[in-house]
Structure 1
């Protein structure tokens, strides 16, 4: 068990996380903070709660644990039945490993494997964004027994909730930037799609932008071409799924 840092030192780790230049640097800072708060391993995942398919198209991960655990988790498709993930879809309060409700043999196997790979004890922190549909789940683990580890980690739950929120903000910003870059989407494109989401007609948009209706329809075509969709309503759905309108 590592010695916990004082609050000023923990605050400095948060400051570094907020200005991390890339994912690798962010992962290192998060690991340092987790250790400072008494944990040893972590995984953060953000996703859309309604997406439960095996493709995990909307999932984004930040990993700070043994790679063997991630390999087992993926190989067994435990993300389809993860009891902590199911809990996080409709809850916001942190939950410890001993509190989770286990209903299937697969879930029991998952928790047994987690216990051998840095998550013998742990706490899971759900976080939900107010401006998008995306949610996040922060898993913090320790090799200590549940009696020891859970008590220590639970005492730091406010810090872990703050960390989860920062990581969800980072995930939303990063995902949005990558999608905009990949498809060449402009601010004007987003503005038009935002109006459509709000129920504006082409005539409404033309009036709002002080352009002709023909210009608006031209914008529709450019947006559809960039996204490879056949109807502008599909562009609105794409923007929603990828958190582009937040």
Structure 2
């Protein structure tokens, strides 16, 4: 009976999460979901796997853990050698934290600090897009013993995996909307760049949009100015990296 009530409550929270309007709402419902499923701390990060770890310009975070842990993580640059991120780059199977080995002194220090800051037991949930242009990692923690915490995480892995997938979708859309807004890129701009990516020439695009070729070149110039590049091929690359293509 208790498990049925928990499942119902989690389903209702997922419904709220799917209609959340902003990041604070998303964070609120994620916190409620992971708490209902036996976790006490979480960090979700999404990134472009082709980006160097030191850059982190494409990284997006949703944080539900002690601020001290985040400060230590950044101060020690553990993002450069994080074994959980390494695992998640090439795997999609959720795994208990104890199953991922630390192979360097820095990684061992990271795990000790994690255990002291809300991740005594942990669970790592990687999630990838179909083209692997962006991946996500949901890292869950509990103050429960490793054995007890990991038993609970494993029992609820289906929910945690669903949550990670929803968060990756949210992250992709949020990042895309930020880029569109910050560069004043329109729906028409995206359509044209997508046609370029698909091999359309300026003449093809002019015919597709029922405008002159000169008009298409004028649009090219405006898009290049918005992005701040000198060649239209660079716009296509920018759109690919930022997930703007349709």
TM-score by length of 2: 0.96
User: What residue number does 1:36 align with?
Assistant: 36
Check if 1:6 corresponds to 2:6.
yes
**CA separation in 2, counterparts of 1:215 and 1:134?**
34
| Offset at residue 131 of structure 1 (A) | 5.9
Per-residue CA deviation, residues 173-220 of structure 1 (Å, 9 max, x unaligned), is 111111111111111100111011112221221222222211111111
Report SS of the residue matched to 1:127: strand
User: What residue number does 2:17 align with?
Assistant: 17
**CA separation in 2, counterparts of 1:150 and 1:17?**
25
User: What residue number does 2:240 align with?
Assistant: 240
RMSD: 1.4
Report SS of the residue matched to 1:243: coil
CA contact (8 A) 1:97 1:122 kept: yes
Query: Could you say if the C-alpha distance between residues 98 and 53 of structure 1 is closer, same or farther in structure 2, counting changes exceeding 3 Å?
Result: closer
| Offset at residue 22 of structure 1 (A) | 1.3
Deviates more, 1:80-89 or 1:50-59: 50-59
**Unpaired runs of at least 5, structure 1:** none
Check if 1:188 corresponds to 2:188.
yes
User: What residue number does 1:125 align with?
Assistant: 125
User: What residue number does 1:168 align with?
Assistant: 168
Per-residue CA deviation, residues 22-58 of structure 1 (Å, 9 max, x unaligned), is 1112111101110100100000000001112412000
User: What residue number does 1:218 align with?
Assistant: 218
User: What residue number does 1:78 align with?
Assistant: 78
CA contact (8 A) 2:53 2:79 kept: no
- Within 5 Å, which residues of 2 pair with 1:53-64? 53-64=53-64
**CA separation in 2, counterparts of 1:89 and 1:36?**
28
User: What residue number does 2:66 align with?
Assistant: 66
Report SS of the residue matched to 1:204: helix
Report SS of the residue matched to 1:6: helix
Per-residue CA deviation, residues 48-100 of structure 1 (Å, 9 max, x unaligned), is 01112412000000000000001111111111111110111111000111100
TM-score by length of 1: 0.96
**CA separation in 2, counterparts of 1:17 and 1:231?**
40
Give the ranges of 4+ consecutive aligned residues of structure 1 lying more than 2 Å apart after TM superposition. Answer: none
CA contact (8 A) 1:132 1:243 kept: no
User: What residue number does 1:139 align with?
Assistant: 139
Check if 1:87 corresponds to 2:83.
no
| Offset at residue 132 of structure 1 (A) | 6.3
Report SS of the residue matched to 1:225: helix
